[in-house]
Chain A
Amino acid sequence: MMNVLSELQGYYSMAGTINMDERKMRFQKLSFEAQEFAFDFESLIKQKVSLENIIEKLGKKFSEKDITNLYYTYLKLAGAVEDALVIDEVFERKTEYLVKMIERERLRNHFRKMAKKDEGQLANRMLANIDNKEMQMPKLHSLSDLSEPEVFLKSDKKENPLKSIWIYIGLLVLAFILIYLLFK
């Protein structure tokens, strides 16, 4: 089906440079499908049907882009559109290419920012984990926290001397009782 529009594209492109007789002759040489399409296409244009409606009516088998290109080529032939208003395909392809390049670079930059953000979040999570572990561990006193080591100094308090004597006497009595009970 693409050949039909290519045929017509070629025909309309050069039709403006040849006389009517030659144009008729060349038209006869187009394929039947191309002639049929041209008849419907040119009828719609003569009825001043908009491009949108032409595409709707004829666009079931052909791409919108190809019909649009053919439309502008025909209008150029018919003298209805000045040259400057025809958007050439080459320019549109360049625009398409550059828009893709710009958008790809925008997405790349976005991915790079995402990667940096993820790294930052990972670092924060790691730090948070370290902090959590520190909180769970028993606190170790730092050296500065320690008071001066306690030195066991002799107490100034005087012990009661009788206390020891009474303990010894008590133990002796106990010992005598035990011996008495053993040898009774």
Chain B
Amino acid sequence: MPSPLFQTNQDYIDLFKMDRRGGIELIHKRHKQYCIDFLLQYYPVREDIEEIYHDGILVLHDKLLDPSFQLTCTIQTYLNTICKNQLFKKINRQKEFSSLSDEFDCDDWFEDEQTQGPGFDRELEVLRDELAKLERRGSKCYELFQLVYFEKYSMEEITDLLDYGTPGNTRNQKYRCLQRLKEHINGTLGRN
């Protein structure tokens, strides 16, 4: 159980495991000011730095969902480091190398966005628009996709969250949703 004072890495991580949205919001709030002040040393535009910070939090969100990820420093140090590296890339500034051998360094960022995803094509464009519509409509299929692909819940957890009865039903529902989506896309693209 996380301590109510949320002082250590583990406290934040435990909270995130119990409540992902609440946990990431608290991490965002508690570490923001220090990170922003740290980055302002290198670049004066606060709005740009805030955007980088938001993305840094999203990177941390993805990493915390990866069971193989291990945080080897404090959350604050991690955020400061990855945001600073990303800032330097954006402003085309050379990374500074410290003489301290034990200084933490990390190049984590969005892997899929860095490689621009699976390559842009017409199907992707239509699919993007259709998913956006499903999200706005509050579609159950979209909710399922969100839990599977973004929140990375297991089938068992999703079964409980969405009350699908068994993980098998959940799996079948996911494939039915993908199937309907694909048929709709093919229809829009004029494919047989």
Contacts and interface: CB of A to CB of B under 8 A. Distances in A.
Interface in B46-69: 50-51, 54-55, 57-58, 61
B29 A95 contact: no
Interface residues of B, number: 42
A99 B179 contact: no
A114 B55 CA distance: 14
Contacts of B54: 107-108, 111-112
A102 B171 contact: no
Q: Indicate the size class of the contact surface on chain A.
A: 20 to 34
B155 interface: yes
The listed residue with most A CB atoms (<10 A of its CB), out of B50, B145, B155, is B145
A87 to B, nearest CB: 5
B96 interface: no
B149 A64 contact: no
Contacts of B37: none
A98 B124 contact: yes
Interface in B150-171: 150, 155, 166-168, 171
A100 B150 contact: yes
A45 to B, nearest CB: 15
Given A102-B135, A114-B25, A114-B29, A95 B168 contact: no
A167 interface: no
Contacts of B24: 107
B57 A111 contact: yes
A98 B182 CA distance: 14
Contacts, number: 86
B181 to A, nearest CB: 7
A90 B132 contact: no
B128 A98 contact: yes
A101 B142 CA distance: 13
Interface in B118-177: 118, 123-124, 127-128, 131-132, 135, 142, 145-146, 148-150, 155, 166-168, 171-172, 175
A94 interface: yes
Given A99-B146, A103-B150, A112-B54, A85 B179 contact: yes
A152 B155 CA distance: 94
B183 interface: yes
Interface of A: 50-53, 64, 68, 84-85, 87, 90-104, 106-108, 111-112, 114-115, 118
Interface of B: 24-25, 28-29, 32, 50-51, 54-55, 57-58, 61, 110, 112-113, 117-118, 123-124, 127-128, 131-132, 135, 142, 145-146, 148-150, 155, 166-168, 171-172, 175, 178-179, 181-183
7 contacts: A52-B167, A91-B178, A98-B127, A102-B131, A103-B146, A107-B24, A107-B54
Given A51-B172, A94-B124, 14 more contacts: A52-B166, A64-B171, A87-B175, A91-B182, A94-B118, A96-B149, A99-B131, A99-B145, A99-B146, A102-B128, A103-B150, A104-B58, A107-B58, A111-B28
